[in-house]
């Protein structure tokens, strides 16, 4: 155990975590040169396409007589739960900062998570080979932030490999080996995945004893017993071994067939042992809820299986069965943010070939009714009669915006428009500022991040976490298309903003809906009263084109006939709303 070092890489989005991991795998000879490719640890097609890490990914390397277990983590705020789980499985963290951008919001958030876990932090500045790199300025920022010496900061270029060997040496030198706590087997499940041929593959970190192929083990949360069919390490692909020893990170395959049994944060122990469970992780609370329904009703079971498989590798996903008159049977899913929802939707489409209808995302409100009961409202369709409601509470978030000084004015006025309440302003150095605000969650859901980026010319970065619940005044707004209410577009809006929001939605619908053979009425209604309306004109064939000469009555007769047909169509016609229209309306 003296030779084992467990560490992870934490940083803001795009500061080069996956590229640094690539160089480490290459320099330690873990992956052959010919098999090397950029972002090797980003296994998912979606990750490679978008250039972001979505899933944490472990890898084991040998370096000068030591075993290095690395976990590459995501940088986006929606995947913070993945980062917090990685930190519980390691003893040290590399804090990576981009030499051209300096400290950003997620750098701070992930650093605080690492400090909470008492990890050894190794500061590293990346991208020193870029012409825009300002190593001196970024070093000052890091010294101010964590109080280290300037000489303790390592400078690397993850792209060229410059300085990476020194970082590997300092990991061996400074990160402590795992502590020996006991000889009885205790393993923490920090992640899991699903493989077509092996079934459930569980990622574990051993905090005691060892685990061998053929052992009989139990999951302490639900007392489920199982046999170990295979164990091994990540190199970074799965390499089978006879056993995993204390302090190491590896995987195990058991006979667990029920996808819900292998819970992230659970402890694995030998069947006959009576060890106590490890502390695990705090329960993550979904922030955004949306209804997910299959387009074809008979795909319901396929959707359920798909969600269960995704849940294995995405512990922050929450879901429960739901049904609706218009959309049939589906699920009400809870997510950590809009990117999380988008990735989930995309994965269902690609990995399981499912066509979906996703309803307008909403946040979870606390409803206090006059009869003394309290419920959590996650869908606008369950909004009760206003006369029964005593009060409603909405979630507020603490947000940190890290920005250059010159954009403060524009950002402050935009955040104030979004009902933000200023807390304080801190200076990182003479040019960069952290703005701290509290803001309703529903106002940062959709295009808040995009707008902050555009106001600051792309320089500002955002991080947020839950603050508390506060009173608010809401109404339910229904959208009628061709005089039929559209359930998936029903939303909850602030009472004082109902008219302006309704007007924006019907206007947006008019732009994005394809024109039909008949005129389509688009209306926004609150409590049965129409507050905004638009009309989508009909597509018209030129029925008089074939006429030549003759009386004007012939022309009139054809136009009258067309008019009657359009009227009949409008009564019977139904409008299919494409998924792009839902997304466009969200970004109102």
Q: What is the pLDDT of residues 79-116, one digit of tens each?
A: 777 777 778 888 899 999 998 888 888 888 888 888 88
Considering the chain, what percentage of its residues have pLDDT values greater than 90? 4
Tell which residue, 437, 433, 434, 395, has the closest CA to residue 413: 437
Res. 520: pLDDT tops 60: yes
Most confident of 336-340, 371-375, 573-577: 371-375
Phi and psi at 503, nearest 5°, equal -65, -45
Structure tokens at 403: 């920005």
> According to DSSP H, which parts of 300-458 are helical?
300-313, 338-352, 408-417, 448-455
Residues of the chain with CATH 3.30.70.870: 288-359
pLDDT band at 439 (very low <50, low <70, confident <90, very high): very high
Q: Sort 580 into a burial class: Cβ within 10 Å, 0-12 / 13-18 / 19+.
A: exposed
Mean of the per-residue pLDDT values of the chain: 83
pLDDT value at residue 430:
80
pLDDT value at residue 223:
81
- What does 204-250 look like in DSSP terms, one character per residue? EEEEES-EETT-EEEETTTTEEEEEEEEEEESSSEEEESEE-TT-EE
Q: Which residues pair with 249 in a beta bridge?
A: 205
List the CATH code of the domain at 367-472: 3.30.70.240
Q: Which fold has domain 475-586?
A: Alpha-Beta Plaits (3.30.70)
Q: What is the mean pLDDT of residues 488-507?
A: 86
Residues of the chain with CATH 3.30.70.2570: 475-586
Instruction: Please give the model's pTM, rounded to 2 decimal places.
Output: 0.73
pLDDT value at residue 36:
66
Non-local (6+) Cβ contacts of 548 within 8 A are: none
Non-local (6+) Cβ contacts of 361 within 8 A are: 288, 289, 290, 335, 338, 341, 445, 446, 586
pLDDT value at residue 413:
92
CATH C-level class of 4-174 = alpha beta
Q: Sort 274 into a burial class: Cβ within 10 Å, 0-12 / 13-18 / 19+.
A: exposed
| CA–CA dist 289, 364 (Å, integer) | 7
Q: Which fold has domain 186-270?
A: Elongation Factor Tu (Ef-tu); domain 3 (2.40.30)
| CA–CA dist 558, 566 (Å, integer) | 13
Structure tokens at 183: 């000889």
Q: What is the mean pLDDT of residues 227-235?
A: 87
Res. 273: pLDDT tops 70: yes
Considering the chain, what percentage of its residues have pLDDT values greater than 70? 91
Q: Contact 254/268 with Cβ under 8 angstroms?
A: no
- The residue that leads in pLDDT, 418 or 222, is 418
Res. 368: pLDDT tops 80: yes
pLDDT band at 482 (very low <50, low <70, confident <90, very high): confident
Q: Contact 118/111 with Cβ under 8 angstroms?
A: no
| CA–CA dist 203, 232 (Å, integer) | 10
pLDDT band at 220 (very low <50, low <70, confident <90, very high): confident
pLDDT band at 437 (very low <50, low <70, confident <90, very high): very high
Torsion, Cα 313 319 321 324, to 10 degrees, reads: -120
Res. 302: pLDDT tops 80: yes
| CA–CA dist 307, 311 (Å, integer) | 6
pLDDT in tens, 4-57: 888 988 888 888 888 888 888 888 887 776 666 665 655 566 666 667 777 778
C-alpha to C-alpha distances, 195 to 45, 192, 198, 238, 257, nearest whole angstrom: 16, 10, 5, 11, 12
pLDDT value at residue 45:
66
Tell which residue, 25, 128, 159, 15, has the closest CA to residue 74: 15
Q: What is the mean pLDDT of residues 494-506?
A: 87
Please name the CATH architecture into which domain 288-359 falls. Answer: 2-Layer Sandwich (3.30)
Q: Contact 588/505 with Cβ under 8 angstroms?
A: yes
Q: What is the mean pLDDT of residues 129-133?
A: 87
pLDDT in tens, 562-588: 778 777 766 666 677 766 666 666 655
Q: What is the mean pLDDT of residues 419-447?
A: 86
Non-local (6+) Cβ contacts of 369 within 8 A are: 375, 384, 388, 389, 390
pLDDT value at residue 549:
72
Residues of the chain with CATH 3.30.70.240: 367-472
Residues of the chain with CATH 3.40.50.300: 4-174
- What does 83-102 look like in DSSP terms, one character per residue? HHHHHHT-SEEEEEEETTT-
Q: Contact 361/337 with Cβ under 8 angstroms?
A: no
Res. 205: pLDDT tops 80: yes
């Amino acid at each position: 155990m003296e030779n084992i070092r467990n560490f992870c890489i934490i940083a803001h989005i795009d500061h080069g975590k996956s590229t640094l991991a690539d160089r480490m795998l290459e320099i330690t000879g873990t992956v052959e040169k010919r098999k090397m490719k950029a972002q090797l640890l980003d296994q998912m097609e979606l990750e490679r396409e978008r250039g972001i890490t979505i899933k944490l990914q472990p890898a084991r390397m040998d370096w000068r007589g030591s075993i290095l277990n690395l976990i590459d983590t995501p940088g986006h705020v929606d995947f913070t739960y993945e980062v917090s789980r990685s930190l519980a499985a390691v003893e040290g963290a590399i804090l990576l900062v981009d030499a051209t951008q300096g400290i950003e919001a997620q750098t701070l958030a992930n650093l605080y998570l690492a400090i909470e876990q008492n990890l050894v932090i190794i500061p590293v500045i990346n991208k020193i080979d870029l012409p825009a790199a300002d190593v001196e300025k970024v070093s000052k920022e890091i010294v101010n932030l964590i109080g280290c010496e300037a000489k303790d900061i390592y400078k690397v270029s993850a792209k060229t490999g410059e300085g990476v060997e020194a970082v590997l040496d300092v990991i061996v030198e400074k990160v402590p080996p795992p502590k020996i706590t006991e000889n009885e087997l205790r393993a923490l499940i920090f992640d899991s995945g699903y493989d077509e041929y092996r079934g459930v593959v569980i990622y574990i970190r051993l905090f005691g004893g060892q685990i061998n192929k053929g052992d009989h083990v139990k999951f302490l949360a639900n007392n489920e017993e199982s046999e170990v069919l295979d164990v091994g390490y990540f190199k970074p692909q799965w390499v089978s071994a006879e056993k995993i020893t204390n302090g190491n990170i590896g995987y195990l395959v058991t006979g667990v067939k029920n996808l819900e049994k292998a819970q992230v944060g659970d402890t694995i122990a030998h069947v006959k042992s009576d060890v106590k469970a490890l502390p695990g992780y705090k329960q993550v609370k979904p922030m955004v809820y949306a209804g997910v329904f299959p387009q074809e009703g008979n795909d319901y079971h396929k959707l359920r299986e798909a969600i269960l498989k995704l849940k294995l590798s995405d512990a922050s996903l929450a879901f429960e069965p739901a049904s609706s008159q218009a959309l049939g049977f589906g699920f009400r899913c809870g997510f950590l943010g809009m990117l999380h929802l988008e990735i989930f939707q995309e994965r269902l489409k690609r990995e399981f070939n499912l066509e979906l209808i996703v309803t307008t995302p909403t946040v979870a409100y606390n409803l206090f009714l006059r009869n003394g009961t309290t419920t959590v409202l996650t869908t606008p369709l369950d909004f009760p009669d206003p006369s029964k409601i005593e009060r409603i509470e909405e979630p507020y978030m603490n947000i940190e915006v890290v920005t250059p000084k010159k954009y403060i004015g524009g950002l402050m006025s935009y955040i104030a428009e979004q009902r933000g309440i200023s807390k304080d302003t801190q200076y990182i150095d003479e040019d960069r500022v952290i703005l701290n605000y509290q803001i309703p969650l529903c106002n940062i859901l959709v295009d808040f991040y995009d707008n902050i980026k555009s106001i600051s010319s792309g320089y500002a970065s955002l991080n947020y976490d839950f603050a508390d619940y506060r009173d608010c005044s809401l109404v339910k707004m229904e959208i009628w298309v061709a005089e039929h209410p559209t359930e998936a577009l029903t939303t909850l809006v602030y009472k004082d903003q109902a008219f302006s929001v309704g007007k924006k939605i019907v206007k947006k619908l008019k732009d994005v809906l394809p024109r039909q053979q008949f005129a389509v009425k688009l209306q926004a209604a609150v409590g049965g009263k129409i507050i905004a309306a638009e009309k989508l004109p009909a597509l018209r064939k030129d029925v008089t084109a074939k006429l030549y000469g003759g009386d004007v009555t012939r022309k009139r007769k054809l136009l009258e006939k067309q008019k009657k047909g359009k009227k009949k169509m409008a009564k019977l016609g139904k409008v299919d709303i494409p998924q792009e229209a839902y997304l466009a309306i969200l970004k109102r």
